[in-house]
Chain A
Amino acid sequence: MGSVYRARDMHFPNVTKLVAVKEMINTAPDPLVRETIVQNFEREANLLATLHHASIPRIYDYFTLDSRSYLVLEFIHGKDVEAIINETSGFLPEPQVLSWAIDLCDVLDYLHRHKPDPIIFRDMKPSNVMINHNGSVMLVDFGIAKTFQSGIKGTMIGTEGYSPPEQYRGEATPSADLYALGATIHHALTRRDPRLEPPFSFAERPLRRINSAVSSDLEAVVNTALEYSPESRFRSAADMRQALMAVARKTGALVNMGPRTGPIVSSGVKPLWSFKCEDEIRGTPAIFEGTLFIGSYDNNLYALSAADGTFQWKYPTDGGIVSRPALFEGNVFIGSEDRRLHVVSARSGKVVWTYYTNAPIRSSPRIAEGHIFIGSDDNYLHAINLNTGRMAWKFETADFVRSTPFVMNELVYAGCETGDYYAVDFRGELKWRFRAKRAITSSTVATPQTLYFSSLDGTLYALDPRNGWVIWRFRLGKSSISTPCIMDEMVFVGAADGFIYAVDTKSSKEVWRFRTEHQVNGSPVIYKDSLYCGSVDGNLYCLEYRTGRLRWKFGTEGPITGTPLAYNDIVYVGSTDHQIYALLA
Chain B
Amino acid sequence: MDKFFRRLLGWLFGTKQSPDRAQDVANTAPLTEQQIQTIVNNQNPRFDLQQLISSCGQSVGKQRELNEDSLLALTTTMAGNSGNLPFGLYIVADGMGGHQFGEVASNAAIRTVAGYVLRKFHPYLFHVKTDTMDESFQEIMQAAVSEAQRAIQREAPGSGTTLTAALVLGQQITIAHVGDSRAYFVYPDGRIEPITRDHSLVKRLEELGHITPEEAANYPHRNVLYRALGQGEILDPDIFTLGFPQPGFLMLCSDGLWGVVSEQDLVRSVVDAPNLQRACQNLISAANTAGGPDNISVIIIQLIG
Contact = CB atoms under 8 A, between A and B. Distances in A.
What's the dominant secondary structure at chain A's contact region?
mixed
A394 interface: no
B117 to A, nearest CB: 13
Nearest to B135: A470
B241 A471 contact: yes
Contact of A466 (B133, B139, B171): B171
Given A223-B208, A506-B241, A409 B47 contact: yes
Nearest to B80: A467
Contact of A507 (B82, B169, B204, B239): B239
A473 interface: yes
A449 B137 contact: no
Contacts of A448: 46, 243
B133 A432 contact: no
B217 interface: no
Contact of A471 (B81, B137, B207, B209): B137
Interface residues of A, number: 29
B160 to A, nearest CB: 22
Interface string B214-247: 0000000000000000000000001111110000
B161 interface: no
Contacts of B135: 470, 473
Contacts of B107: none
B32 interface: no
B136 A466 contact: no
A462 interface: yes
Contacts of B47: 409-410, 466
A466 B208 contact: no
A506 B240 contact: yes
Contacts of B172: 449, 464, 469, 471
A328 interface: no
A219 B208 contact: yes
Given A223-B209, A434-B132, A470 B85 contact: no
B248 interface: no
Contacts of A468: 82, 132
Nearest to A508: B138
B33 interface: no
Contacts of A433: 81, 132
A435 B132 contact: yes
Nearest to B137: A471
B162 interface: no
A472 B136 CA distance: 5
28 contacts: A220-B207, A220-B208, A224-B209, A410-B47, A423-B82, A431-B82, A432-B82, A435-B131, A448-B243, A449-B171, A449-B172, A449-B243, A462-B241, A464-B172, A467-B82, A467-B85, A468-B132, A469-B169, A469-B170, A470-B132, A470-B135, A471-B174, A472-B137, A472-B138, A506-B241, A507-B238, A507-B240, A508-B138
Interface of B: 45-47, 80-82, 85, 131-133, 135-139, 169-172, 174, 204, 207-209, 238-243
Closest 6 CB pairs of A and B: A470-B136, A472-B138, A432-B82, A506-B240, A467-B82, A472-B136
